[in-house]
Structure 1
Amino acid sequence: MQCSPDEIRHQILDAEPLLKRLDIEMQGIEFDPLVPSSVNAAYAKVDRVIEHLLARFKANPILGPLTTELKSQYFDGIRVKVAHARNGQ
């Protein structure tokens, strides 16, 4: 499916408030990187928040892949914090 530049712009503008809210929600996720159950809870929370906030964009060919990419980025951030904590940094 081809989207015009105007359609793409509209979709991005439509998603912008949700992406800002997502950023705020992600900043609020706290966990102890040395406690596996806390880390697992953080992963689950990231997954739930992203799925909830971006659900309506899942089938969108432009914004749909963003869900997977955002999860990957936030999961990577959790993994980095765990690695640093285990290395005493």
Structure 2
Amino acid sequence: MQTLEAIRIQMREAETVLKALDKELENITFDSSKRESVEAAIDHVIQTIDTQLEGFKNNPILGPMVEELKAQYVEGIQTKVADSALKRA
């Protein structure tokens, strides 16, 4: 069983990494009308999350969140694509 201090340290580490990740992923740009641009953005999201969180696979806070984060960011891209398509229609 982990000590309370160990959990606090992991939470601080998680917060720092998640803030940096969010900042980097906010800056991803793509042309929603071009499939290859959208696919490249999705690939970039997945690669960035894998790279940034690689050292936290065993972290009880970040480890389980990796796939969820990927899904959320990819869904965000897909939502932007869908919104853009509606505006063009």
Q: TM-score under structure 2 normalisation?
A: 0.88
Q: Give the aligned partner of residue 40 of structure 2.
A: 41
User: 1:45, CA displacement in angstroms?
Assistant: 0.4
Cα displacement (A) at 1:6: 2.9
Deviations 1:5-40 (A, max 9, x none): 432221110122211110111111000111000000
Give the alignment's Cα RMSD to 1 decimal: 1.5
What is the distance in 1 between the residues matched to 2:49 and 2:67?
A: 9
Moved more, 26-35 or 54-63: 54-63
Quote the residue 1:84 is aligned against. Answer: 83
In structure 1, the residue matched to 2:17 is 18
Q: Which moved more, 1:59-68 or 1:35-44?
A: 59-68
SS in structure 2 at match of 1:88: helix
- Contact 2:14–2:61 under 8 Å retained in 1: no
List structure 1 runs of 4+ shifted beyond 4 angstroms: none
Which letter maps to 2:54? A
Cα deviation code 1:41-63 (max 9, x no counterpart): 00000011101110011133332
Alignment partner, residue 32 of structure 1: 31
Figure out how many residues of one structure are paired with residues of the other and give that number.
88
Stretches of structure 2 lacking an aligned partner (at least 5 in a row): none
Q: Give 2:8's aligned residue.
A: 9
| Counterpart Cα distance in 2 of 1:3 and 1:39 | 42
How far apart in 2 are the matches of 1:12 and 1:54? 14
Q: TM-score, normalised by structure 1?
A: 0.88
